[in-house]
Chain A
């Protein structure tokens, strides 16, 4: 493939005529690898300037010192020691930071389990039960559109439903199922999980759907012909073949929820502590090294989870 392209490139000046000759000759002089650099370079530069170098700065600054007013560029472990203050003394009880991370992991696990369940069956319905391509497109689009509208709006949209005087409460009171409005519907762990599921199930549906749509339907027919029940086909044929999508979707949802501070802030009434919230709180107090230290810890945990998950499937191969 590569060599044939080279031959074509070298041959093109001879084929082109008139005013194109000069341009073609110039194009032929640019080596393919130079053209690749020209094409991919700008994107690489953006990632370098706004992602890779900033990450390096996060790690460096996490080891800097600080006072109430400013960053002090001198090596210090204060960002980390402040974070884990009193943790060893409190053993075997968990200190605040330990509890916070445990709570974040718990939220993360709940959201992951729910989005996986919903995402799997929605994708399954779209991939296997909707036969017409037009319907498939239309229904997928229907699931995608809310992803394109503001997250905050989709969060506050729950207020008229879940609030103290919201639809759910007034409905329950009117139907005499309860006599007092329930308080835990809004600004609680419940509302945080609900909003996260509402916001991010999309990230499960799309990759799982993509995997499922590639499954050869004759494999499923073959399973039925060989006498498998619907459940056996699901467990032994569909789920293994949809695994790449499941893993990719899980990685998306887990990383988003681990770092989230906005949904947890708005839906938790700014009361629920989570990994992302710690960073935000430190930043609001202008304690940059402490914020950076927490970012490094969060990054390490997220990276650990992703590495474990990508053991199951080669992401690169699936795209």
Chain B
């Protein structure tokens, strides 16, 4: 094993490269195709090069009001991100101690992750329908619906993002040295001060990771939104609707725009994480280095 690389390395390296090509190849194809000329179709070869289809998207001449859907998805994604970060960090802290109902919360999170999305979505929609019926019967006959982006929609997305947030918190605290907190307490810090000045700065890069997960999972979410979003659609739902009707490259242009937002958020978050890590390495004390 010591002398040079074994033959299996090269075989697996080629296998890995093929997998990466398989992952990215088709996506790159549609990014390229979205820059077709006005006469372009859904397949290669390209029929001219232009930003015609992207521009058409922003003029709002398409079948659906994509601008509004874009803003809705953005708003929902940001709210989901904020809620996911706060609730995951709080619950992650709780799991470091033993508490009753610990395993109930843990298994709820795991179940929420693996129960098929359509069932969760259906359940939320039934729940809100029954609430609507109750309101109509008892309080207000003209009541429309309590389903909406920030009620049923938010709840549906959280059932998808929170389990990921919690699992990432487990990973963080598996590597966390509690002696740093004990040291802070010995110096007279209150629990809140310990959290604010010791724990949070150390876990901050990973917390940004949770935010990144929360936003992009919500931004691209489809199955759970399908029944639970209420009267208005998110961007992925509009996109899915278009797959059955559209025969022009504007669907690729839309795909390119949605991906661009995802990539921008990923890049921004990774950049911030990298910066924080560098700062931690440069400015942080060497306490703990001798411990590991």
Contact = CB atoms under 8 A, between A and B. Distances in A.
Contacts of B166: 43
Interface in B97-117: 97-106, 108-117
Contact of A255 (B87, B115, B263): B115
A211 to B, nearest CB: 14
A142 B262 CA distance: 14
Interface in A24-49: 24, 27, 32-33, 35-40, 42-44, 46-49
A142 to B, nearest CB: 6
A37 B99 contact: yes
Nearest to B220: A150
Nearest to B109: A47
Contact of B22 (A27, A156, A198): A198
B233 interface: no
Contact of B130 (A57, A158, A170): A57
A118 B120 CA distance: 29
A165 B124 contact: no
Contacts of A17: 188
Interface in A42-76: 42-44, 46-55, 57-58, 61, 71
A302 B119 CA distance: 11
Nearest to A145: B266
B126 A292 contact: yes
Interface stretch (A88-96, A236-244, A257-265): A257-265
A266 interface: yes
Interface in A126-177: 126, 129, 139, 141-143, 145-146, 148-161, 163, 165-167, 170
Interface in B161-183: 162, 166-167, 170, 182
Contacts of B19: 118, 122, 143, 201
Interface string B190-204: 111100000000000
Nearest to A270: B244
Range of interface residues on A (Cβ < 8 Å): 35 or more
Contacts of A2: 97-98
| Residue of B91, B115, B162 with most chain A CB atoms under a 10 A cut-off | B115
B106 A57 contact: no
Contacts of B112: 47, 51
A121 interface: yes
A156 B30 contact: yes
A57 B114 contact: no
Contact of A43 (B6, B9, B162): B162
B94 interface: yes
Interface in B4-19: 5-6, 8-9, 12-13, 15-16, 19
A125 interface: yes
Contacts of B139: none
B122 A292 contact: yes
Interface of B is mostly: helix
A252 interface: yes
Contacts of B190: 12, 16, 20, 23-24, 27
A227 B237 CA distance: 57
A53 B120 CA distance: 10
B46 to A, nearest CB: 10
B255 A153 contact: yes
A242 to B, nearest CB: 15
Contact of B114 (A5, A38, A251): A251
B158 interface: yes
B76 interface: no
Contacts of A224: 1
B223 to A, nearest CB: 6
Given A152-B222, A256-B116, A43 B90 contact: yes
Contact of A12 (B117, B185, B219): B185
A306 interface: yes
A146 B24 contact: yes
Q: B15, B16, B170, B259: which has the most chain A beta carbons within 10 Å?
A: B16
The 5 A-B pairs with the shortest beta carbon distances in the complex, nearest first, are: A259-B116, A54-B123, A50-B155, A36-B99, A157-B26
Interface of B: 1, 5-6, 8-9, 12-13, 15-16, 19-20, 22-27, 29-30, 33, 42-44, 86-88, 90-91, 93-95, 97-106, 108-120, 122-124, 126-127, 129-130, 155-156, 158-159, 162, 166-167, 170, 182, 185, 188, 190-193, 212, 216-217, 219-220, 222-223, 226-227, 236, 239-240, 243-244, 251-252, 255, 258-259, 262-263, 266, 270
Interface of A: 2, 5, 8-9, 12, 15-17, 20, 23-24, 27, 32-33, 35-40, 42-44, 46-55, 57-58, 61, 71, 118, 121-122, 124-126, 129, 139, 141-143, 145-146, 148-161, 163, 165-167, 170, 198, 201, 220-221, 224, 230, 251-252, 255-256, 258-262, 266, 270, 276, 279-280, 283, 288, 291-292, 295, 298-299, 302, 306, 315-316, 319
